[in-house]
Chain A
Amino acid sequence: MIFGIVIALVGMAALAWGFRFAGQAITGNTPRFRDMPFGVAYGYVLGVLLLAWLVWAYIQGRSADPLIANKFFFLRIAVEGFLIFAVAAWLFRLLGRSVGTAWSRKMFRSMPLTASFGILTILIYATFAIFAGLIAPYGQEQILPGVAANIVPGGDPALGGDPAFLFGTDQIGRDILSRLIYGAQNTVGIAFATTVLAFLLGGTFGFLAATLGGWLDQVLSRMVDVLMAIPSLIFALLLMTIASVWAPQLGIPLTVFMVVIIAVIDSTRVYRLARAVGQNIVVMDYIEAAKLRGEGLGYLVFKEILPNATAPLLAEFGLRFCFVFLTIAALSFLGVGIQPPLADWGTMVRDLGGFVNYAQFAPLAATAPLLAAGAIALLTVAVNFVVDWMLHRSSGLKE
Chain B
Amino acid sequence: MSEEPLLKMRGVKLEGRSDETWNPIINGIDLTLMRGEVLGLIGESGAGKSTMGLAAMGYTRDGVRISDGSVEFDGIDLLKASAAVKRGLLGKRIAYVAQSAAASFNPAHKLMDQHVEGPVQHGVNGRGASEEDGIELYRKLRLPNPDQIGFRYPHQVSGGQLQRCMTAMAMSCRPDLIIFDEPTTALDVTTQIEVLASIRDIVEQFNTAAIYITHDLAVVAQMADRIKVLLKGDEVETADTATMLSAPTQEYTKSLWAVRSFERPLKPAVQTGSVPVVSVQKVDAAYGKVPVLHDVSFDMHAGRTVAVVGESGSGKSTTARCITGLLPPKAGQIMLDGEALPADYRKRSKDQLRQVQMIYQMADTALNPRMSIGQIIARPVQFYLGLTGAEKRKKVDRLLEQIELEPTEYYNRLPSELSGGQKQRIGIARALAAEPKFIICDEVTSALDQLVAEGILRLLARLQDELSLSYMFITHDLATVKAIADEVVVMKDGRVVEQGPKAEMFTPPHHAYTDLLLSSVPEMDPDWLTNLLAERGVDNIGDAAVDKM
Q: Does B350 contact A (CB under 8 A)?
A: yes
Let me know if B360 and A285 touch, CB within 8 A. yes
- Do A285 and B369 form a contact, CB below 8 Å, given A31-B82, A292-B345, A294-B353? no
Let me know if B83 and A288 touch, CB within 8 A. no
Q: Does B185 contact A (CB under 8 A)?
A: no
- A34 to B384 Cα, complex, angstroms: 69
Q: Does B227 contact A (CB under 8 A)?
A: no
Q: Which of A294, A307, A308 has the most CB of B within 10 A?
A: A294
Let me know if B365 and A292 touch, CB within 8 A. no
- A289 to B363 Cα, complex, angstroms: 12
Q: Does A286 contact B (CB under 8 A)?
A: yes
- A34 to B83 Cα, complex, angstroms: 9
Let me know if A293 and B380 touch, CB within 8 A. yes
Residues in chain A near residue B325, CB distance under 8 A? 292
Size category of the B interface is 20 to 34
Residues in chain A near residue B548, CB distance under 8 A? none
- Do A110 and B383 form a contact, CB below 8 Å, given A307-B370, A308-B369? no
Let me know if B360 and A289 touch, CB within 8 A. yes
Size category of the A interface is 10 to 19
- A307 to B326 Cα, complex, angstroms: 24
Residues in chain B near residue A110, CB distance under 8 A? 19-20
Q: How far is the CB of B60 from chain A (nearest CB, A)?
A: 14
Residues in chain B near residue A291, CB distance under 8 A? 326, 345
Tell me the chain A residues, 18-48 only, with Cβ under 8 Å from chain B: 31, 34-35
Nearest-neighbor residue (CB-CB) of B415 within chain A? A286
Residues in chain A near residue B56, CB distance under 8 A? none
Q: How far is the CB of B8 from chain A (nearest CB, A)?
A: 21
- A292 to B341 Cα, complex, angstroms: 14
Q: Does B368 contact A (CB under 8 A)?
A: yes
Contact partner of A35 among B82, B362, B366, B371, CB < 8 A?
B82
- A285 to B321 Cα, complex, angstroms: 12
Tell me the chain A residues, 291-321 only, with Cβ under 8 Å from chain B: 291-295, 303-304, 307-308
Tell me the chain B residues, 48-94 only, with Cβ under 8 Å from chain A: 82-83
Residues in chain A near residue B482, CB distance under 8 A? none
Q: Does B324 contact A (CB under 8 A)?
A: yes
Tell me the chain A residues, 323-359 only, with Cβ under 8 Å from chain B: none
Let me know if A294 and B367 touch, CB within 8 A. no
Residues in chain B near residue A35, CB distance under 8 A? 82-83
Let me know if B19 and A292 touch, CB within 8 A. no
Count, A-B residue pairs, CB within 8 A: 51
- Do A292 and B369 form a contact, CB below 8 Å, given A31-B82, A34-B82, A285-B362? no
Residues in chain B near residue A238, CB distance under 8 A? none
Q: How far is the CB of A32 from chain B (nearest CB, A)?
A: 12
Q: How far is the CB of A334 from chain B (nearest CB, A)?
A: 44
Could you give, for residues 316-352 of chain B, a 1 whenever the CB lies within 8 Å of some chain A CB and a 0 otherwise?
0000000011100000000000000000010010100
- A240 to B209 Cα, complex, angstroms: 74
Let me know if A286 and B350 touch, CB within 8 A. no
Residues in chain B near residue A286, CB distance under 8 A? 365-368
Q: Does B430 contact A (CB under 8 A)?
A: yes
Q: Does B358 contact A (CB under 8 A)?
A: yes
Could you give, for residues 4-47 of chain B, a 1 whenever the CB lies within 8 Å of some chain A CB and a 0 otherwise?
00000000000000011000000000000000000000000000
Could you give, for residues 192-220 of chain B, a 1 whenever the CB lies within 8 Å of some chain A CB and a 0 otherwise?
00000000000000000000000000000
Residues in chain B near residue A295, CB distance under 8 A? 383
- Do A304 and B353 form a contact, CB below 8 Å, given A31-B82, A292-B358? no
Q: How far is the CB of B517 from chain A (nearest CB, A)?
A: 27
Q: Does A284 contact B (CB under 8 A)?
A: yes
- A304 to B366 Cα, complex, angstroms: 12
- A284 to B504 Cα, complex, angstroms: 38
Tell me the chain B residues, 161-192 only, with Cβ under 8 Å from chain A: none
- Do A293 and B353 form a contact, CB below 8 Å, given A31-B82, A34-B82, A110-B19? yes
Nearest-neighbor residue (CB-CB) of B430 within chain A? A289
- A304 to B434 Cα, complex, angstroms: 19
Q: Which of A110, A286, A292 has the most CB of B within 10 A?
A: A286
Q: How far is the CB of B340 from chain A (nearest CB, A)?
A: 18
Tell me the chain B residues, 377-404 only, with Cβ under 8 Å from chain A: 379-380, 383-384
- Do A308 and B430 form a contact, CB below 8 Å, given A291-B345, A292-B358, A294-B353? no
- A291 to B365 Cα, complex, angstroms: 14
Contact partner of B366 among A31, A289, A293, CB < 8 A?
A289
Could you give, for residues 293-306 of chain B, a 1 whenever the CB lies within 8 Å of some chain A CB and a 0 otherwise?
00000000000000
Q: How far is the CB of B422 from chain A (nearest CB, A)?
A: 16
Tell me the chain A residues, 266-297 only, with Cβ under 8 Å from chain B: 284-286, 288-289, 291-295
Q: How far is the CB of B440 from chain A (nearest CB, A)?
A: 10
Let me know if A284 and B353 touch, CB within 8 A. no
Let me know if A285 and B82 touch, CB within 8 A. no
- A294 to B355 Cα, complex, angstroms: 12
Residues in chain A near residue B326, CB distance under 8 A? 288, 291-292
Q: Which of A34, A289, A295, A307 has the most CB of B within 10 A?
A: A289
Residues in chain A near residue B348, CB distance under 8 A? 294
30 contacts between A and B (CB under 8 A): A31-B82, A34-B82, A35-B82, A35-B83, A110-B19, A110-B20, A285-B360, A285-B366, A286-B365, A286-B367, A288-B326, A289-B366, A289-B430, A291-B326, A291-B345, A292-B324, A292-B325, A292-B345, A292-B353, A293-B353, A293-B379, A293-B380, A293-B383, A293-B384, A294-B350, A303-B371, A304-B368, A307-B370, A308-B368, A308-B370
Chain A residues close to B by CB (< 8 Å):
31, 34-35, 110, 284-286, 288-289, 291-295, 303-304, 307-308
Beyond A285-B366, A292-B358, A308-B370, 14 additional contacts (C-beta under 8 Å) are A110-B20, A284-B366, A285-B362, A286-B366, A286-B367, A291-B326, A292-B326, A292-B353, A294-B353, A303-B371, A307-B368, A307-B370, A308-B368, A308-B369
